[in-house]
Amino acid sequence: MYLLDTTSTAAISIYALLLAAYRSMQVLYTRPINGPAVSAEPIETRAPLPAVDVIVPSFNEDPGILSACLASIADQDYPGELRVYVVDDGSRNREAIVRVHDFYSRDPRFTFILLPENVGKRKAQIAAIGQSSGELVLNVDSDSTIAFDVVSKLVSKMRNPEVGAAMGQLTASNRSDTWLTRLIDMEYWLACNEERAAQARFGAVMCCCGPCAMYRRSALAALLDQYETQLFRGKPSD
């Protein structure tokens, strides 16, 4: 029993040391090379602006939450071409969702895709990507709202042809409710401003956030088949 306790203490101590070292290196490499990491160059409106396709996959979403998401996209200040593809992935509450679709269908920028059955987020995204043609693709989760200048800021980063993807800063909308939501919001901040910022220094961010991430279509096209058919422990990862 004593040996087991000693082993457990040693393992925890080693883990704590490794974690401290990892966090320290992460903070070190997070430091921006040239100015604040979140700065965005103003878009030169006289230069040709890339077309942006916004893809919103949705499954059994609350109509009010979906409406808020679509409203935030409709209110973007981006001066270039913006198209929005909303994919309903076989929702069971489609009757309520369709009423939201009807409201935003008055906006010619919006296209709605109704899948007959639930096929998973990946295939829902791919269904929209197949119908779209913009140079840049922005994925927005149906339970998220984005600031009015998100598209403009992300596009400004994508003007660098070496950048394949850019992501937004996540904030929990209910962060002030409980200690748990505060911790969730803190995790979002660390993931965006430390972990991924440190990875970006090496040009190899392992994962862009699902709620708000912009990709270059040429980069997506080369990987869509792998994305759709990826397996985890021998089972489809959908």
CATH classification at residue 122: 3.90.550.10
The partner residues of 111 in beta bridges, in order of sequence, read 85
Average pLDDT over residues 196-217: 88
Q: Is residue 21 part of a domain?
A: no
Span 81-127, pLDDT tens digits: 999 999 999 999 999 999 999 999 999 999 999 999 999 999 999 99
In a domain, 14, yes or no: no
Q: What is the mean pLDDT of residues 164-192?
A: 91
Pairwise CA distance, residues 35 & 43, whole Å:
18
Are both 198 and 217 inside the same structural domain?
Answer: no
- pTM, whole model, 2 decimals? 0.82
Query: Which one, of 75, 80, 131, 60, lies nearest residue 107 by Cα?
Result: 75
Mark whether 79 and 92 lie in a shared domain.
yes
H/E segment holding residue 214? strand 212-216
Looking at the structure, tell me whether residues 85 and 202 fall in a common domain: no
Confidence of residue 4 (pLDDT cuts 50, 70, 90): low
The pLDDT score that the predictor gives to residue 32 is: 63
Which of 8-12, 82-86, 152-156 has the weakest average pLDDT? 8-12
pLDDT at 25: 76
Question: How high is the pLDDT of residue 156?
Answer: 95
Contact between 96 and 62 under an 8 Å Cβ cutoff? The reply is: no
Residue 37 lies in a domain: no
Per-residue pLDDT, averaged over 196-205, amounts to: 84
Strand, helix or coil at 23? Answer: helix
- Domain match, 90 and 163 both: yes
- The rounded distance, in Å, linking the Cα atoms of 7 and 201 is 37
- The predicted structure's pLDDT at residue 192: 86
How many domains is the chain partitioned into structurally?
2
The answer to whether residue 191 scores a pLDDT higher than 60 is yes
In a domain, 36, yes or no: no
Q: Is the pLDDT of residue 43 over 60?
A: no
Same domain for 75 and 188, yes or no, is no
Band the pLDDT of 15: cuts 50, 70, 90.
Answer: confident
164 and 57 within one domain: yes
Residues 177 and 73 in one domain: no
Q: Do 147 and 109 share a structural domain?
A: yes
Domain containing residue 181: 169-206
Q: Does any domain span residue 29?
A: no
| Least confident range of 45-49, 167-171, 172-176 | 45-49
Reply yes or no on whether the pLDDT at 36 is more than 50: no
Q: Is residue 19 part of a domain?
A: no
Is the pLDDT reported for residue 194 higher than 80? Answer: yes
- Report yes or no on 140 lying in a domain: yes
Q: Please check whether residues 132 and 157 belong to one and the same domain.
A: yes
In a domain, 99, yes or no: yes
- 131, two tokens: 């119908």
* Maximum separation of any 2 CA atoms in the chain, in Å: 74
